[in-house]
Amino acid sequence: MKKISEVNLDKLLESFSQIEKKIAELHGENNLLSLQLDKTKRLLTISQSKEGSAQEECATLQNMIKGLQQTIENLCHLRDENERLKNTVHISEKTLKTHEQEYKNQIDRLMREIESKGKEHKLEQRKIYCDMNKKIETMEEEHKQLIEKKDLEILELTRQLRDQEKEKQNEIIKLQIEFNEKLVRIQNKAPKPYPAPTALPLHQSIYRRKLQHLQEEKNKEIEVLRNTIRDLEQKLSKGQDSRLRWRQF
């Protein structure tokens, strides 16, 4: 019994020593774990702080991504719009080239028409010029004949005027001679050396009135002939002016 209790005590002590050793090891591990726990807490705090920053950065990045996505969408829209505009410009260029060719063809056609019209106009001008020359020549011949006719009329009227003036002058001279002869006869028939104061002035006044009347008639006829000659000359001058205008035209 003593051996058994001794053995057990030794074992107990040994076990106790081992337990203490284990406890010491556990305390050491516990301290180490405490240190690791503190370190882990600090790391957790840092990680949480970094996580918050990362979340903020993530939110910022998400916003940036959204903005980039919107920008990309806008760029895609712009690219599509650019492609559409390019297609529109290409179609417009083709249409413009087509219109330019049409306009060029129209211009060529109009130029040919203008050239043709110009030739027709020149031919028409030549024809009109020839017709006008013929008309002018005819009118010149007519005016020449008319001028000759009017010249003859003027010469005839001038001759008539001279003849009338000559006749009137002869008649006046004849009346003066008759007046003088009657005056002489009256003077010869008078018994007194001096004629009666009333007879001579009476005859003189009668002959004077008659001479004055003949002179007035002669002046009227001369004035009528002069007006006729003036009218003929004016008509001739108008005819010459119209002929000159036709020639200038």
**Tens digits of per-residue pLDDT, 77-121?**
888 888 888 898 889 888 988 888 888 898 989 899 898 888 888
Q: Give the model's confidence band at 197: pLDDT under 50 very low, under 70 low, under 90 confident, else very high.
A: very low
pLDDT score of 51: 81
Cα 83 from Cα 94, distance rounded (Å): 16
Q: Summarize the confidence of residues 125-132 as an average pLDDT.
A: 87
Q: Summarize the confidence of residues 199-209 as an average pLDDT.
A: 60
pLDDT score of 146: 82
Q: Summarize the confidence of residues 61-82 as an average pLDDT.
A: 87
pLDDT score of 216: 78
List of residues 6+ apart from 214 with CB closer than 8 A = 168, 171, 172, 175
- Whole-structure pTM over 0.85, yes or no? no
Find how far residue 117's CA is from the centre of its chain: 25
At residue 228, φ and ψ (nearest 5 deg) are: -60, -45
Q: Of 130, 148, 129, 152, whose CA–CA distance to 140 is shortest?
A: 148
List of residues 6+ apart from 168 with CB closer than 8 A = 214, 215, 217, 218
- More confident of the two residues 217 and 95: 95
**Average pLDDT in the chain:** 78
Query: Are the C-beta atoms of residues 215 and 144 closer than 8 Å to each other?
Result: no
**Tokens matching residue 28:** 């050491």
Domain boundaries, the chain: 1-36, 136-248
Cα 39 from Cα 225, distance rounded (Å): 155
pLDDT score of 176: 73
pLDDT tens track for 151-161: 888 788 888 87
Query: Are the C-beta atoms of residues 164 and 221 closer than 8 Å to each other?
Result: yes
State the maximum Cα–Cα separation within the chain, in Å, rounded to a whole number: 252
Cα 34 from Cα 28, distance rounded (Å): 10
Query: Are the C-beta atoms of residues 205 and 183 closer than 8 Å to each other?
Result: no
Cα 145 from Cα 236, distance rounded (Å): 11
Q: Is residue 198 scored above 70 in pLDDT? A: no
Poorest-confidence range of 4-13, 54-63, 96-105? 4-13
Query: Are the C-beta atoms of residues 202 and 183 closer than 8 Å to each other?
Result: no
Q: Is residue 202 scored above 60 in pLDDT? A: no
